[in-house]
Amino acid sequence: MRTSSKDLLIGIAGIGGLAGFATLLLLYGELTGVVTSRYTVEVAFDSGGGLRKGSPVTLNGVPVGEVQDVRLDPAADRPEHPVIVVARVDRTVSIPTNVSADVEAGLLGGSARLTLVIPLPISEKPEVLPQESPPLIFGKAAGLGGAIAAAIDERLAAPLEDLRASARAFTRLADNLNSLVEEVDPDSADPAAVEGSLRTTVVRMNSTLAEARTAIGLASEWLGDAQLKQDVRNAVWRAGVLLEQTVEAVDDFSALATTLGDEAGRAVDSFDARAGELVAAVLPVADRASDLLERLGALSRLAAEGDGTVGRLLRSPDLHESLVDSARRLQATLGELELLLQKIREEGLGVSFE
């Protein structure tokens, strides 16, 4: 075989090998960034969390890109997120605005991955980040230890809260017991605290018991006196005599009340017997008064409705006006006569006999 033919075959075999190797890389996702168009998304973390160039990027567990760069870039507007992770995401993937970022490390080592998480449930048409100059996404690189701690906290949160509640209840109980048994100064403390203190209650109880013992001793001495016993017996005897006298007085009073009741009954019976006579005497007088009232009513109707002088006077307004006018003239005449008499008294009659 000539040299030119050998070179041709070697070139064809090399090209086939490169094509096969590229196919394998493409099948395993190593050349996805070269074939698929992507856009840049920057995520700010508190730490790198093991991310490096080439680390995979997932969105709710689905691979959507890879990390292009990880750098330390502190800024005044984000002092708690000094690490910037630059990720390349497929343009076919739209990231919602409510996305959160985290770093997941392999359980048995290996490369960490940048995980983007969309809260569930996911709406059909969520608001997404623009692919041209998207805003900065903030996240916290918890790592494997943080994930384990978060899982433990999630599982133990309810039991720990119950334990804390029980501890607080026992603490309040201990405080209440301590406040009950602690020593309180009756002169300087709050009256409510003094009344509620168990120690103060015990002291008062002991004092009361001591006073009761003293009183019992005095009562024993008082009851042991022979003269006192004799005085008590005399008082009891006198009380018995007084009680008998009281009973006799009550009996006498009862008899008197019975006698008065009988007399009152006889008086009522006598009044009932005379009541008929009184009614018989009053009825004629009432009849005569009623007849008189009827006659007065008839005279009034006759005066108002009859044709006599009184009736005409009541029904005729002209007659009334005439009487009023006559009364006025009579009053004027009397006035003039009074003036004439006064003039005569002052000047005399003025009659001369020449």
Rounded average pLDDT over 50-55: 89
Higher pLDDT, 229 or 351: 229
pLDDT for the residue 110: 62
Instruction: Give dist(CA 249, CA 230) in Å, integer.
Output: 29
Q: Which residue has the higher pLDDT, 130 or 210?
A: 130
pLDDT surpassing 80 at residue 24: no
- What pLDDT does 352 receive? 46
pLDDT at 187: 56
**Per-residue pLDDT at 21 exceeds 70:** yes
Instruction: Name the amino acid, one letter, at 238.
Output: R
Q: Does the structure show a pLDDT above 60 at 196?
A: no
Kind and range of the H or E run holding 42: strand 38-45
Mean pLDDT over 58-87 rounds to 92
Which residues neighbour 138 within 8 Å (Cβ) at sequence distance 6 or greater?
Answer: 43, 44, 78, 81, 101
What average pLDDT does range 57-83 have in this prediction? 92
Instruction: Please tell me the distance from the alpha carbon of residue 153 to that of residue 51, in angstroms, as a whole number.
Output: 25
pLDDT (average), residues 70-84:
91
Q: In what order do the strands lie in the sheet with 137-138?
A: 100-104, 113-117, 56-59, 62-72, 83-90, 38-45, 137-138
When pLDDT is averaged across residues 214-224 and rounded to a whole number, the result is: 70
CA dihedral 285, 290, 293, 299 (to 10 degrees): -110
Which helix (H) or strand (E) segment holds residue 234: the answer is: helix 226-305
Q: Residue 186's pLDDT band (boundaries 50, 70, 90)?
A: low
Q: Could you count the other beta carbons within 10 Å of the beta carbon of residue 180?
A: 13
Predicted confidence at residue 64, as pLDDT, reads 93
Q: Are 136 and 42 in contact (CB under 8 A)?
A: yes
SS (H, E, C) 61-89: CEEEEEEEEEEECCCCCCCCCCEEEEEEE
What residues are paired with 164 via a beta bridge?
none
Which pTM does this prediction carry?
0.38
Look at residue 18 and tell me whether its pLDDT is greater than 80: yes
Q: Which residues pair with 85 in a beta bridge?
A: 43, 70
Task: Examine the pLDDT at 348 and tell me if it is beyond 70.
Answer: no
Quick check: 94 and 106 in contact, CB under 8 A? no
For helices 198-223 and 226-305, give the axis angle rounded to 10 degrees: 110
The full DSSP string for 104-171 is E--TTS---EEEEEPPSSPPSS--B--SSSPPPEEB---HHHHHHHHHHHHHHHHHHHHHHHHHHHHH
110-124, 158-172, 182-196, 289-303, range with the lowest pLDDT: 182-196
H helical segments located in 182-225: 191-196, 198-223
Q: 200 near 186, Cβ under 8 Å? A: yes
Confidence band, pLDDT 50/70/90 cuts, at residue 281 = low
* Per-residue model confidence (pLDDT) at position 325: 78
Most confident of 93-102, 116-125, 222-231: 93-102
Higher pLDDT, 262 or 138: 138
Choose between 43 and 204: higher pLDDT.
Answer: 43
Cβ atoms of 38 and 31 within 8 Å: the answer is: no
What are the residue boundaries of the structural domains of the chain, listed by start?
A: 38-141, 191-222, 315-344
Average confidence score pLDDT of the chain: 75
Q: What is the mean pLDDT of residues 187-200?
A: 57
